[in-house]
């Protein structure tokens, strides 16, 4: 029985002509480490700006960064279709290549914005007027959550 399964595996391996390599766990890959270090650096810079200059509430800054990441996730495909001459742009290629990471960063910023806003304003989540007032934010956070859950890798 074991010989038959080994024989079948060898036939399958020679027919597909692929190498079987042990891949690293996702948290040890270079791109994941770079993404996490950039995200953490971004949070540290935001906290520094918030604590030193106090330009706006931190929740508003995180909301703006969430919006910026969302736009940088959506715009590349629109620009690529609308203006075919821009397909060779390095910035556009980089944004298209890293769409998943920008989407996950968008979810992180949006969730942080929501949690801070709920804490700052002492929202009562059991009142129906809360959901009427913030229906746009709740719906976009739901969309970001679904996108973050389905962006596997």
Q: For 60-88, what is each residue's pLDDT tens digit?
A: 888 888 888 888 888 888 888 888 888 88
* Structural domain range at position 60: 25-150
pLDDT, position 25 = 64
- In a domain? residue 5: no
Number of separate domains in the chain = 1
Any domain includes 80? yes
Q: Does residue 18 lie within any of the structural domains?
A: no
How many CB atoms are located within 10 Å of the residue 118 CB?
15
In-domain check, residue 125: yes
For residue 35, the Cα-to-chain-centroid distance in whole angstroms is 10
**pLDDT value at position 18?**
47
Q: Answer yes or no: are the C-beta atoms of 137 and 123 closer than 8 Å.
A: no
Percent of the chain at pLDDT > 90 equals 0
Token pair for 134: 């913030």
- According to the model, what pLDDT value does residue 153 have? 57
Report the alpha-carbon distance of residue 75 to residue 106 in Å, rounded: 14
Domain for residue 10, yes or no? Answer: no
DSSP 8-state symbol, 28? G
Highest mean pLDDT among 33-37, 69-73, 116-120, 148-152 belongs to 69-73
107, 144 contact by CB (below 8 A): yes
Does residue 6 form part of some domain? no
Instruction: Kindly state the tokens that stand for 4.
Output: 């038959």
Q: In this structure, is residue 121 part of a structural domain?
A: yes
- 16 lies in a domain? no
Please name which of 79, 73, 123, 63 lies closest in space to residue 100, comparing C-alpha atoms: 73
């Amino acid at each position: 029985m074991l010989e038959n399964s080994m024989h079948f595996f060898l036939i399958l391996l020679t027919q597909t002509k692929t190498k079987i390599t042990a891949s690293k766990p996702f948290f040890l890959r270079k791109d994941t480490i770079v993404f996490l270090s950039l995200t953490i650096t971004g949070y540290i810079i935001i906290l520094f700006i918030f604590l030193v200059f106090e330009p706006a509430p931190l929740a508003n800054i995180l909301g703006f960064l969430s919006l910026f990441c969302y736009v940088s996730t959506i715009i590349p495909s629109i620009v690529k279709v609308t203006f075919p001459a821009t397909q060779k742009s390095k910035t556009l290629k980089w944004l298209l290549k890293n769409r998943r990471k920008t989407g996950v960063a968008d979810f992180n910023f949006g969730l942080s914005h929501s949690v801070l806003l709920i804490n700052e304003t002492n929202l009562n989540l059991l009142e129906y007027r809360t959901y009427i007032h913030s229906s746009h934010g709740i719906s976009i956070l739901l969309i970001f959550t679904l996108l973050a859950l389905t962006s596997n890798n």
